[in-house]
Structure 1
């Protein structure tokens, strides 16, 4: 445990940030898993509806450094490939 007053405040602040980051990361992960499941079930009507929402969550996660920007790009490309495979 920190002894210095500023370190105690930093510990409090980092705990708050960690909690907020976990909520955002969980929200993104759940949405991503759900949309992948829709693709596996061949439910592309709902997939198309949820795609912009999930893409937005991926971008927000990358913006807040919860995901690396390249990882976010790979995830969006994966979703685009799934949609393109269905269209073909």
Structure 2
């Protein structure tokens, strides 16, 4: 158990941040799945910018690696272009 006041605060804060990161990552994964399952090109093109933005935010906050974000975006864009 932590002995310092600052360490106790850090434990609380880390848990809050962990839960927020988990929520954002799960939400983005669901959005990616929704985009991958989309068969209508118009709807997919409308959905793509918001999904790309979500992926960029995850990479900026180091929730996912930058290269993984690039790979995801590239694959999604290729899929939407091929519809």
How many Å apart are 1:13 and its aligned residue? 0.9
Report the TM-score when normalising by structure 2.
Answer: 0.90
How far apart are the structure 2 equivalents of 1:83 and 1:14?
37
Alignment-derived partner of residue 21 in structure 2: 21
Number of equivalences? 83
Task: Report 1 or 2 for greater relative contact order, CA contacts < 8 Å, sequence distance ≥ 6.
Answer: 2
Q: Which runs of 4+ in 1 moved over 4 A?
A: none
Give the CA RMSD over aligned residues: 1.2
How many Å apart are 1:31 and its aligned residue? 0.6
Residues 10-60 of structure 1 show CA distances to partners (whole Å, capped at 9, x for unaligned) of: 10110111121112112111111110111xxx2222101100110110111
Partner of residue 78 from structure 2, selected from 65, 78, 81:
81
How far apart are the structure 1 equivalents of 2:21 and 2:81?
32
Q: Which structure 2 segments of 5+ residues have no match?
A: none
Alignment-derived partner of residue 44 in structure 1: 41
Alignment-derived partner of residue 5 in structure 2: 5
Report the TM-score when normalising by structure 1.
Answer: 0.85
